[in-house]
Amino acid sequence: MELLRYILRRMLLSAFVVVGVTFLVFVVAQVVPSDPAALYAGPRPTAEQIEKARQELNLDAPLQARFATFATAMASGDFGISYKSRRLIAEDLRAYLPATLELAVFSTGLALLIGIPLGVVAAAHQGRWADRLGSFGSIAAVAMPTFFLAMILQLVFAQWLGILPLSGRLSREIAISAPLQMITGFNLIDAILAGRFDVFGDALAHLILPALTLASYPAGVAMRLTRSAMIEILERRHIVAARALGLSEPRILFGHALPNAMGPALTVIGLSFAYALTGAVLVEIIFAWPGLGRYVSEAILAKDFPVIAAVTMVVTICYVVMNLLIDIAQALVDPRVALS
């Protein structure tokens, strides 16, 4: 009951955030110093062409009416057409969003899988060499510039060892000769659904290096946060009590202390996911990953506002949904959360 009320409250809050961002995007579109009609009308437009574009885009209608149109369009998933390419934005998103989401989810999972256990081990060995080594590693992981790490990984795994592909999302042979039918847009899932395990392996191999690159920073943060949370928790009375009950040390660390540290660890998921969603631009360019980052960076250079607005909305919604899931997970892990 408490849990249900808590979830409803969180959902309401999420809805407010989405509406707020919609409003913000619209306002920004009004104040950006560029004329959408001129952009829409094509290269070197005449005054007549601009006027026609202005009418087509409904730019002369009153502000409230235009916000209403904008908001309804956003809500129905109709993001309009790109000023630049004249393509339907929704169609572009259908191709690019899954690529970015796949990378973001995979790298976030990787970051947690690496960062949390290392944080636990470091806390258990506080002050000793394992802890020092872990601290050094986490600082290096956080401080390492993305492009530099990407370069090293490409050099080692693609160039020298030759065990992983340099870039792209699928091998050219597969993409051309036996393309995967798009169902969810996530290559890993589509490959399983189609029973194509060769494609699954190929997609996974392409995913590893960009995901590792993206995971480095959040893994370092996850490790630091888990370590400090664990150190505080390991001092608590119920841990002393668990020792007095003769429980084994691994059981105490992972079964009793870690669940108490899941709060901070789950917070990292949100952080990590947001970072992967928006911070992926550079990584997507380096690894020729056909995702939102590349798409939106081109739109920004072209002042293609509908595209920027659409990507902003989509990223916001992804982030809000992710946070909602995290909040719910947090309440499930710690039943006291729903009470506060």
Partner 1 sequence: MPLLEIKNLSVSIPTPDGDVHAVRAVSLDIERGEIHGVIGESGCGKTMTGMAALGLVPKGARIQADRFHFDGEDLRENAVRLRGRRIGLISQDPAAALNPVLSIASQMDDVIRAHRDMPRRARRAEAAGLLAATGLPDPERVLRSYPHQLSGGMQQRVVIAQALATGADFLIADEPTTALDVSVGAQVLALLRKLVAERGLTVLMITHDMDVIAEACDRATVLYAGRSIETGPVDDVLQRPGHPYTRALLAALPDAAPHAARLSAIEGSIPAPRSTIAGCAFAPRCPQAMPVCAAEPPPERGNDGRRWLCHLPEGTR
Residues that bind partner 1 (CB under 8 A): 236-238, 240-248, 251, 255-256, 259-260, 262, 333-336, 339
Contact 229, 217 (CB under 8 A): no
Angle between helices 305-333 and 258-278 (to 10 degrees): 170
CB of 145 to partner 1, least distance (A): 38
Contacts of 29 (CB under 8 A, 6+ apart): 36, 305, 309
Sort 251 into a burial class: Cβ within 10 Å, 0-12 / 13-18 / 19+: exposed
CB of 330 to partner 1, least distance (A): 10
Tell me the C-alpha distance between 92 and 86, whole Å: 11
CB of 218 to partner 1, least distance (A): 23
304: number of CA atoms within 13 Å, CB side?
23
* Residue number, 265 or 308, with CB nearest to partner 1: 265
Tell me the C-alpha distance between 185 and 188, whole Å: 9
* Residue number, 109 or 263, with CB nearest to partner 1: 263
CB of 333 to partner 1, least distance (A): 6
| Helix (H), strand (E) at residue 75 | helix 63-75
* Residue number, 47 or 245, with CB nearest to partner 1: 245
CB of 250 to partner 1, least distance (A): 11
* Residue number, 20 or 255, with CB nearest to partner 1: 255
CB of 323 to partner 1, least distance (A): 21
CB of 252 to partner 1, least distance (A): 9
* Residue number, 201 or 250, with CB nearest to partner 1: 250
Contact 296, 281 (CB under 8 A): yes
Residue 81's DSSP bridge partners are: 88
Tokens of 92: 């572009």
* Residue number, 257 or 318, with CB nearest to partner 1: 257
DSSP tag of 88: B
Look at residue 81 and give its three-state secondary structure.
strand
* Residue number, 127 or 195, with CB nearest to partner 1: 127
Closest by alpha carbon to 279, among 150, 87, 188, 95? 150
